[in-house]
Amino acid sequence: MIVICEPQCKGMSHEKVNSGFIYGLRTAFPQEKILFYADETHLEGIKYILKNDGVRIDNMEYIPIQLHDPYSFRGMISNYNLLKNLYQDVVSAGTDKIFFLSTNPVLLYLMKLLKTNPRFRGVKCTIVCHGEFEDIAFGEYREPPVAVFPAELSMERIRSMSLAERIRRIRSMSPGEIIQKITRVLRYRYLTGVARIKEIYPGLFKRYFYVKKFILWRHTSDFHYIVLSPAALRNAAEYIDIKNLNFYGVVMPIVFAKPLPPPSNEHVKFAVFGYGDSSMTYRTARLLEQKNIKNPYEIRVISMDCRGTEGFPAVHCVSSGKVMTRSEMESHVPDIDIFMILYEKNRYRLSCSNSILEAISYIKPVLYISNDSINYFNSPENPIGFCCADLEEAAEKMADIINNFSSHKGVLQTYRENILSLRDQISIEKLAPTIKSSFTFD
């Protein structure tokens, strides 16, 4: 029997990678029954994404659990009881292993604390590490950055305009649009303050419960960890002993979409797919305004987050700020030429962005700011996109592609062919043996 637990996510969060791990475990252990514990809304999300991807998982039972905020005393008690009940279920079922699809330092502390109970001493855990794992580079707790909302960046853009330009802008807007714009700016300024206040209380916990401390605390061979790319595993070795701590590198597993034919556009179409970073999209659009752009182009934001990009005629947000289903998002993908993956350079050294796997899934060349996560897939021997040193270089490369699109079509086709080759190398079937090793405690 294979017991899988998602102790944090609700709804359509991590649904793509979690469904990938479930499929990977089914591939690795084809005869075993699967028990999947998660919030009821996440269970529905997993059922939806498996159906959307055309994947059938037989002999699997969905078991709802109630999730709690880990960074509070009440949440700690509730999560302790949740994990205790899960451990009891595992022991009662005659097995001894749990595959956790995510964790945080408080949950990790509780997982290890429960193993002091003689009844649970034999329970073994494989744990997938996501974004919080990046904090091992800092050791102890660090203050999170203050959120910068694109609405505020948009105000900076307006302040940089001349008075005549501002008047022309206001005259072109209806009274309703003016009120909507003012309301949006005030709302995001309010949210900035709220986000900071909300961080104070959890911050008290995070000063004590930080990732590296509880990976090392009471470590035994009963704990295995997965990081979501071999590049992240290599970087993690700078901060922890990955061999003795039982770390495995597994490329973030997702079920790839059926190959799409290449688009046939007269002008280039870029896209941001998924969460993205709306402030980086805003900055890119600003930089492109300053370039000598001769031809039309489109930046399509296939995401619910379009904040700050409303004033750019080439930027089109397809969601109108609403949550989209996976099938709705996919409907806007076929005619896209290039996926933009624009994050600050220090992101994803010890984890992996789902954006690069989405690009590989839909066979879309990428344009990105260099980081280890994406460089791993965009190798010199098998390039799949354009690697840029910074945002200025990214905007310069985009301007070149826009102005000389026909001359880049051959390169884009080569990248697409390389992506097809890469998909075969990192398919879930190829990843299954490593997933199996991480969940085998010999």
- The pLDDT value given to residue 146: 47
Which position has the higher pLDDT, 322 or 26? 26
Write the burial class of residue 63 (CB in 10 Å: 0-12 exposed, 13-18 middle, 19+ buried).
middle
Cα 137 from chain centre: 19
pTM of the predicted model, to two decimals? 0.85
Share of the chain above pLDDT 70, in %: 86
Average of per-residue pLDDT across 177-184: 67
Average of per-residue pLDDT across 92-117: 96
- Select the highest-mean-pLDDT range: 113-127, 146-160, 335-349: 113-127
Q: What is the DSSP string of 1-62?
A: -EEEE-SS--SSSSHHHHHHHHHHHHHHSTTS-EEEEE-HHHHHHHHHHHHHTT----SEEE
The pLDDT tens digits of the residues spanning 353-411 come to 899 999 999 999 999 999 988 999 999 999 999 999 999 999 999 999 999 999 999 99
Average of per-residue pLDDT across 248-252: 97
DSSP helix/strand/coil, 243: coil
Average of per-residue pLDDT across 146-170: 59
C-alpha neighbours within 13 Å on the C-beta side of residue 436 = 12
- The pLDDT value given to residue 186: 63
Distance CA 346, CA 372 (A): 9
Distance (Å) of CA 15 to CA 115, 135, 283, 296, 418: 29, 23, 29, 35, 26
Distance (Å) of CA 361 to CA 258, 386, 402, 407: 8, 17, 24, 25
Average of per-residue pLDDT across 143-169: 58
The pLDDT tens digits of the residues spanning 112-146 come to 999 999 999 999 999 999 988 998 987 665 555 54
Average of per-residue pLDDT across 222-240: 95
- The pLDDT value given to residue 192: 53
- The pLDDT value given to residue 147: 46
What single DSSP character describes residue 188?
H
Q: Is the pLDDT of residue 171 over 90?
A: no
Find where tokens 């490593």 sit: 434
Structure tokens at 35: 């028990």
Distance CA 313, CA 297 (A): 10
The pLDDT tens digits of the residues spanning 415-424 come to 999 999 999 9
Q: What are phi and psi of 203, to 5 degrees?
A: -60, -35
- The pLDDT value given to residue 401: 98
Share of the chain above pLDDT 90, in %: 72
- The pLDDT value given to residue 157: 56
Structure tokens at 313: 């005629």
Distance CA 366, CA 356 (A): 8
